[in-house]
Chains A and B, each alone.
Chain A
Amino acid sequence: MRRAALTALLGLLAVVAGAHPAPNSMLRLEFRADGVRVEYWVPESELAYARAADPGGDFPAYLLRHVGAESRDGKPWRLTVGAVRETTYLDHPYVVADLRLTPPAGTPTKDFVLIDDAVTHEVRNHVVFVTARREQGSDLLGALQYPARRLRVAAP
Chain B
Amino acid sequence: MRTTWAPALLLALTGLASNLTYAADGTACRTAHGGTADTREIVAALAAFKPMLNEQQQKVLYQPFDYDHAIRWSNLPLGVVPRNGLRLGDLDAKQAAAARRVFEAALSACGLKLLDEIRLADDWLTAYDKRPIGWSGGNYFLTLLGTPGAKTPWMLQIGGHHLAYNFTFNGHSPGATPLFFGTEPIRFEIKGASYAPLDAQSGAMSRLAAAIAPLPQARLSGTFTDVVKGVVVNGAPGQLPTGGTDTGFPQSYPAGEQDRGVRVSTLSRDQRNLVREAIESYASFPGKSISAPLLQSYLDPKNLDATFVGFAGAPELSAKGSYVRIDGPRVWMELVVQPAIAHPEDLHYHALWRDKQSDYGGEIHK
Q: Which of B10-18, B41-49, B203-211, B233-241 is near enough to bind chain A?
A: B233-241
Contact code string B156-169 (vs A, CB < 8 Å = 1, else 0): 00000000000000
Q: Are A12 and B237 in contact (CB under 8 A)?
A: no
Which chain A residues border B220 with CB–CB below 8 Å?
124
Q: Are A125 and B227 in contact (CB under 8 A)?
A: yes
Q: Are A26 and B79 in contact (CB under 8 A)?
A: no
Q: Which A residues between 63 and 102 are near B, CB-CB below 8 angstroms?
A: 89-90, 96
Residues on A facing B (Cβ under 8 Å)? 9, 11-16, 18-24, 26, 28, 39, 41, 45-46, 49-50, 53, 89-90, 96, 121-127, 129, 131, 137-138, 140, 143, 145-148
Interface check B77, CB cutoff 8 A: yes
- B336 smallest CB distance to A (angstroms): 8
Q: Are B237 and A49 in contact (CB under 8 A)?
A: no
* Range for the number of chain B residues in contact with chain A: 20 to 34
Q: Are A137 and B341 in contact (CB under 8 A)?
A: no
Which chain B residues border A28 with CB–CB below 8 Å?
236-237
Q: Which B residues between 274 and 324 are near A, CB-CB below 8 angstroms?
A: none
- A20-B80 in contact given A26-B235, A127-B232 (Cβ < 8 Å): yes
Q: Are B236 and A21 in contact (CB under 8 A)?
A: no
Per the bound structure, the CA–CA distance linking A22 and B230 in Å amounts to 12
Q: Are B236 and A138 in contact (CB under 8 A)?
A: yes
Can you report 10 A-B residue pairs in the complex whose CB atoms are below 8 A from each other?
A9-B240, A14-B131, A18-B131, A19-B77, A21-B226, A23-B235, A90-B235, A125-B227, A143-B232, A146-B222
- A137-B222 in contact given A19-B76, A125-B228 (Cβ < 8 Å): no
Q: Are A24 and B223 in contact (CB under 8 A)?
A: no
Residue of B nearest to A92 (CB): B235
Q: Is the interface of B mostly helix, strand, loop or mixed?
A: loop
- A39 smallest CB distance to B (angstroms): 7
Q: Are A21 and B339 in contact (CB under 8 A)?
A: yes
A89's partner among B77, B223, B237 (CB-CB below 8 A) is B237
Q: Are B226 and A16 in contact (CB under 8 A)?
A: no
Residues on B facing A (Cβ under 8 Å)? 76-77, 79-80, 131-133, 220, 222-228, 230, 232-237, 239-241, 244, 248, 252, 254, 259, 336, 338-339, 341
Instruction: Name the residue among A41, A122, A124, A145 with the largest chain B CB count within 10 angstroms.
Output: A124
- A15-B232 in contact given A21-B225, A21-B341, A46-B225 (Cβ < 8 Å): no
Residue of A nearest to B239 (CB): A137
Which chain A residues border B79 with CB–CB below 8 Å?
12, 15, 19
- A49 smallest CB distance to B (angstroms): 4
Residue of A nearest to B228 (CB): A125
